[in-house]
Amino acid sequence: MRSIWKGRHFLWLAAGIIATSAVGACSHPNYVYDEPYATQRVWDGREQAAYRRWEAERRMEHVEYQRRSAAEQRAYWQWRHDHQE
């Protein structure tokens, strides 16, 4: 009988950790560094759409922003400042 209670405590603990992680992940925006302008920018749905448009205009295969080279990231931000929505 005692082992059943231990299992339940484990499940409650696991559920609490998962819930806390899910809430924390949603409440903190993702930031990326805009090197040419030396600023932190919020990477949200709007920025993701602009990034995809930048890739499409250059006929580039989609690669996550963080995996791009520093030169490509700078090129994106230069383009982005010229194409404000």
Judge if pTM exceeds 0.85. no
Q: Give the pLDDT of residue 33.
A: 85
Q: How many domains does the chain have?
A: 1
- Could you give the CA distance from residue 79 to residue 50 in angstroms, rounded to a whole number? 10
3 state DSSP class of 58: coil
Q: Structural domain of residue 70, as residue ranges?
A: 2-82
Q: Which of 79, 73, 74, 31 is nearest to 53 (CA)?
A: 79
| Position with higher pLDDT, 23 vs 9 | 9
Structural contact between residues 36 and 74, judged by C-beta atoms closer than 8 angstroms: yes
- Tell me how long the chain is: 85
Alpha-carbon span 27 to 50, nearest angstrom: 22
**Percent of the chain residues past pLDDT 70, beyond the cut:** 68
At 73 the pLDDT is: 92
Please indicate whether residue 37 or residue 60 has the higher confidence score (pLDDT).
Answer: 60
* Residue 21 pLDDT > 80: no
